Structure 1
């Protein structure tokens, strides 16, 4: 009898601890801080950069208004790191130059990686602008400008579909 009572009590107690859906929404953070090497999309082959970025940063586009502040901060930090991987010392620009320019085989693969990295950077920027707009901030001008750049780089990535794409060994994280 004692055992049955204990089981019944534990079942009742655990049911009170479960989240409820009722009228209030519970939005949980789901993005994790990662090293650049874990979230970069530049290695492999060109042609599918946008899908690769969206797989690394799975934000629910149907619920931008409820994206957690922590997730927004991770997106912003990852975007900054992706930009640094392009322009800072040891990034794509330096690597392409060291490979003899984008007309060499190694340089072309690095250029394809740089374009994929730009898709990463710009998609994160567009996501942040869309989220902030859904949360009441006026981001229309920024969203239009960044979306245009994103579309251009997606088209460049698709034009190079199937070609080798090389990443750079860049140190950085999505830590806000």
Structure 2
């Protein structure tokens, strides 16, 4: 009997742990390579989540997605913006493409978090519309530069 209670408790703790593991910004970054596929690259970062059953996502999943947003924001302001400002020509353009891909990752995390909240009964339609507009704008910018070099920057941050 004690064994089965312990097993059930361990399983419950496992289920409550969420599907994502703690990762560094450098591990999840999609900024390098070439522009044009940022949306697909960003979605692959979140592929562990069952997108067909978002209502089942838990607080740990929401925390992870929120932390992706936060560290991508920090990477943008603390790494990309200064590097772009200091660069010129093709180097600045490649950094800008990397920044756009970083924004797509950040916004995909936000949209997925909002979809989870919506699936769990929260009214987030106004925020969803606002964030979707930003995401679609950045996806278009990425697609407009398809095939062009995109520069990733190392940044010291981790998800929750």
Do the aligned residues in 2 keep the contact of 1:27 with 1:66 (CA within 8 Å)? no
Q: Which residue of 2 aligns with 1:65?
A: 55
Do the aligned residues in 1 keep the contact of 2:16 with 2:60 (CA within 8 Å)? no
In structure 1, stretches of 5+ residues that fail to align are 1-16, 19-25
Structure 2 distance, partners of 1:107, 1:139, is: 36
Shift of 1:149: 0.6
Aligned counterparts, 1:138-157, within 5 A: 138-157=123-142
Structure 1 distance, partners of 2:159, 2:63, is: 8
Match of 1:56 among 45, 55, 59: 45
Task: Give the structure-2-normalised TM-score.
Answer: 0.87
Secondary structure, aligned partner of 2:36: coil
Matched, 1:79 2:69: yes
> RCO greater where, 1 or 2, for CA within 8 Å and sep 6 or more?
2
Match of 1:43 among 32, 36, 39: 32
Aligned residues: 149
Structure ID, larger Rg: 1
Task: Give the structure-1-normalised TM-score.
Answer: 0.80
Structure 1 distance, partners of 2:39, 2:50, is: 15
Task: Name the structure where helix makes up a greater proportion of residues.
Answer: 2
Shift of 1:29: 2.4
Do the aligned residues in 2 keep the contact of 1:37 with 1:169 (CA within 8 Å)? yes
In structure 2, stretches of 5+ residues that fail to align are 1-6, 9-14
Q: Which residue of 1 aligns with 2:12?
A: none
Point out 4+ residue stretches in structure 1 off by more than 6 angstroms: none
